[in-house]
Amino acid sequence: MLLTKFFDAISKFVPGDPFMGGDPYEIAKLDPDKIYVENVRAAMRTSERQARLYCETAVRQGIFDRYVEAILPDDVVAVSAPTERELPLTVQRWVERDGKMEEETFETATLSRRAFYRLHR
């Protein structure tokens, strides 16, 4: 389903052959709840710019929804939401230090962000 909808949208709205040189069936292997531009880029063997265009085209066509995630300093996803405004002001996590569990709190505004896409349901 993801493969067919995505192919149809991209083929209709992006000039040229978007799948030339790539393996379009790699798209079918993507997690429909976490589609990253980098994964689309790798599957389609295209540039990051072109892969982002494909994903944004899918958003405009109602196939994908765009989300944002806040990333902790150790590259762990802290939280995700449909928009940056919907991210919480702070996030907490528990970490083990010297055999003891300690709570860490991070201001979400200080964390890096990464966009991802989700198959629209």
What digits encode the pLDDT tens for the residues 21-59?
666 677 778 888 999 999 988 888 888 998 999 899 889
Per-residue pLDDT, averaged over 99-114, amounts to 96
Instruction: Give residue for tokens 């993801």.
Output: 2
The pLDDT assigned to 10 comes to 67
**Contact (Cβ atoms closer than 8 angstroms) between residue 86 and residue 39:** no
Chain mean position to CA 57: 14
Which amino acid type is present at position 68? Answer: V
The pLDDT assigned to 115 comes to 96
pLDDT top residue among 93 and 7: 93
- Of residues 53, 88, 49, the one with CA closest to residue 68: 88
Q: pLDDT tier at 61 (50, 70, 90 boundaries)?
A: confident
The pLDDT assigned to 93 comes to 94
The pLDDT assigned to 30 comes to 84
Q: Residue 107: which H helix or E strand, with range?
A: strand 100-107
Q: Is the pTM of this model over 0.75?
A: yes
Q: Name the packing angle between helices 37-44 and 48-60 (round to 10°).
A: 110
Question: What's the mean pLDDT when you consider all of the chain?
Answer: 87
Q: 56 phi and psi, to 5 degrees?
A: -65, -35
Per-residue pLDDT, averaged over 77-84, amounts to 96
